[in-house]
């Protein structure tokens, strides 16, 4: 095939995951996310033969950067952050189609220049290209970028054709319900919903994707996945790090906005949703929205469904670390939470009476993200003698990071002449089974956006439904200031007020 010889990217191209000819435009091209994640993601898609033959990368930012310098910066980012070494032949093909456009985000004329730049690429190539805009900027300029994409005609490029303009929008998607609704209104004034890909990189992680496979491809789980057999569900997103130099940003965010409202709610939706009628993107997203709408409003105040705290001085990794209020850029009377815990109730047939416990915090005992499903204990008639029988609740846990895999706690007999029991853990790890060099989340998500698969992205009504649940909590915390704010030692698993959310006989896991 002559085309295969002329376009090396076609070698080994997956027919199922092949993307159409595409221009990817990254807004915020000189930013940290672009260097750490986006450029390496594009490069690794090239290594895997998953970029189309006619693929072009355009960086856009305020800072004027010559094309050659941008290509050098991109190569340096790959060398430092890619999961694979830089291969000269792959990078040379990408670099040959890499360029940069400078301009302000609120400058319509600069977007006109961007449109002319893309048109010039198409004229040289002799064909029309799909354009994927990736907004990797601070949220303060989301709206100007979207509005100028509309004003310049870029948002409606080839609208109605199989391959048209698309836009990926990074988190945070709003800071409360009103701002999320306003951002969605701006989007709808420029793009149609099927052109929009609201990204949450957790959905690109292998274990998160595997959750649907485990639930719906294994008949041993689905009959037990309900209130009759499950006692409770815990979702944990814990970080060892503190706020570091991001104190100014974090003061405006906090754990609820930064992690709970987006990452943990996505994990909850995939855990609790009903089986979709198909793997079609809209079928999956319909079920996610349904389960989010079934969550009961949260009770705030003493004895309610929420707890918050700030980390105090402690020890992490054998080193003494300071408390949140001592960090750079943090107000001495700050009411921003570095830890949040939530107790959720889902009012539907499958989950009535099963509590879902969500927590996320900084400066915790270790970095880990997991979903833990605890099953009801069997009747204690046969193994009721506590002296001989050490029984634990059966728990199925999906570890999302850092050591991706899943485990199941079972009770088993200890070898010997008398019957004694002990809990044991059966584990599966991606690294040991499939190798440790698995694709990064952004690789999957960028590819999915190029081919038009929205399954792992957030729909507009889904984002608003999540904010509708948590905005009253944020409003309540704002009204009471520091009242009810607990503390926890850095390096611990969290504050005492979070323990009160759990019913007697339950405790937070220490994964």
- The domain spans of the chain are 2-170, 203-499
Can you read off the two tokens belonging to residue 52?
């189309």
Task: In whole angstroms, give the CA distance from residue 79 to residue 92.
Answer: 14
- Could you read off the pLDDT of 430-448 as tens digits, one per residue? 888 887 677 889 999 999 9
- Could you read off the pLDDT of 40-62 as tens digits, one per residue? 999 999 999 999 989 999 999 99
Half-sphere exposure of 263 (CA within 13 A, CB side): 23
- Could you read off the pLDDT of 495-509 as tens digits, one per residue? 999 999 998 889 999
Nearest-10 crossing angle of helices 265-272, 206-216: 20
- Could you read off the pLDDT of 244-286 as tens digits, one per residue? 877 888 898 999 999 999 999 999 999 999 999 998 999 999 9
- Could you read off the pLDDT of 141-158 as tens digits, one per residue? 999 999 999 999 998 865
- Could you read off the pLDDT of 300-318 as tens digits, one per residue? 988 899 999 999 999 988 8
Q: Do 362 and 237 touch, CB atoms closer than 8 A? A: no
Which runs of E-coded beta strand occur in 80-199? 98-102, 130-135, 166-169, 196-198
Strand pairing category for 405-413 and 314-316: unpaired
Q: Do 49 and 83 touch, CB atoms closer than 8 A? A: no
Query: How many CB atoms are closer than 10 A to CB 434?
Result: 11
Measure Cα distances from 301 to 177, 183, 341, 476, 484 in Å. Answer: 20, 30, 13, 8, 8
As a whole-number percent, the residues of the chain with pLDDT over 90 amount to 73
Predicted local distance difference test score (pLDDT) of residue 204:
87
Residue 263 falls in the annotated catalytic set:
yes
Confidence (pTM): 0.91
Strand pairing category for 166-169 and 405-413: unpaired
- Could you read off the pLDDT of 149-193 as tens digits, one per residue? 999 999 886 555 545 899 999 988 999 999 999 999 999 999 999
Catalytic residue among 163, 164, 201, 263: 263
Predicted local distance difference test score (pLDDT) of residue 157:
63
* Rg over CA atoms, the chain: 25
Vertex 343: Cα angle to 342 and 347 (nearest 5): 130
Domain 2-170 classification at class level: alpha beta
The domain made up of 203-499 has a fold known as: Dihydrodipicolinate Reductase; domain 2 (3.30.360)
Q: Is 157 exposed, middle or buried (0-12, 13-18, 19+ CB in 10 A)?
A: buried
Predicted local distance difference test score (pLDDT) of residue 404:
87
Predicted local distance difference test score (pLDDT) of residue 13:
40
């Amino acid at each position: 095939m002559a085309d295969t010889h002329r376009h090396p990217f076609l070698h080994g191209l997956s027919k199922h995951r092949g993307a159409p000819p595409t221009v990817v435009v990254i807004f915020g091209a000189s930013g940290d996310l672009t260097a750490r994640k986006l450029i390496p993601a594009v490069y690794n898609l090239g290594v895997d033969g998953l970029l189309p033959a006619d693929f072009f990368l355009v960086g856009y930012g305020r800072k004027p950067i010559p094309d050659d310098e941008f290509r050098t910066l991109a190569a340096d980012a790959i060398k430092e952050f890619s999961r694979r070494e830089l291969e000269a032949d792959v990078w040379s093909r990408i670099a040959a189609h890499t360029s940069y456009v400078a301009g302000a985000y609120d400058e319509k004329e600069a977007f006109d220049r961007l449109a002319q730049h893309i048109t010039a690429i198409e004229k040289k190539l002799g064909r029309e290209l799909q354009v994927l805009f990736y907004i990797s900027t601070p949220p303060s300029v989301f709206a100007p970028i979207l509005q100028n994409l509309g004003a310049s005609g870029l948002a409606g490029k080839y609208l109605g054709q199989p391959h048209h303009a698309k836009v990926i929008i990074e988190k945070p998607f709003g800071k409360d319900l009103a701002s999320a609704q306003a951002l969605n209104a701006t989007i709808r004034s420029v793009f149609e919903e099927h052109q929009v890909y609201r990204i949450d990189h957790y959905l690109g992680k292998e274990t998160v994707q595997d959750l649907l496979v485990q639930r719906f491809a294994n008949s041993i789980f689905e009959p037990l996945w309900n209130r009759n057999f499950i006692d409770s569900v815990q979702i944990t997103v814990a970080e060892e790090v503190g706020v570091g130099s991001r104190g100014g940003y974090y003061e405006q965010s906090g754990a609820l906005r930064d992690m709970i409202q987006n990452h943990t709610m996505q994990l909850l939706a995939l855990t609790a949703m009903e089986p979709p009628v198909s793997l079609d993107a809209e079928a999956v997203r319909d079920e996610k929205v349904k389960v989010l709408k079934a969550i009961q409003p949260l009770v705030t105040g003493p004895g309610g469904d929420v707890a918050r705290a700030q980390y105090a001085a402690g020890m992490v990794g054998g080193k003494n670390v300071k408390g949140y209020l001592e960090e750079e850029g943090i107000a001495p009377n700050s009411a921003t939470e570095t830890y949040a815990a939530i107790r959720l109730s889902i009012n539907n047939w499958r989950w009535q009476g099963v509590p879902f416990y969500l927590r996320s915090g900084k400066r915790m005992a270790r970095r880990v993200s997991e979903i833990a499903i605890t099953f009801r204990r069997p009747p204690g008639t046969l193994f009721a003698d506590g002296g001989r029988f050490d029984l634990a609740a059966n728990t199925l846990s999906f570890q999302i990071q850092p050591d991706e895999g899943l485990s199941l706690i079972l009770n088993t007999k200890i070898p010997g002449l008398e019957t004694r029991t002990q809990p044991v853990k059966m584990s599966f790890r991606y690294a040991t089974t499939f190798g440790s060099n698995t694709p990064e989340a952004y690789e999957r998500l960028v590819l999915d956006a190029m081919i038009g698969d929205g399954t792992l992205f957030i729909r507009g009504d889904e984002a608003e439904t999540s904010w509708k649940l948590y905005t009253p909590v944020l409003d309540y915390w704002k009204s009471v200031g520091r009242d009810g704010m607990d503390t926890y030692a850095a390096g611990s698993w969290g504050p005492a007020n979070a323990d009160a959310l759990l019913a007697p006989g339950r405790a937070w896991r220490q994964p």
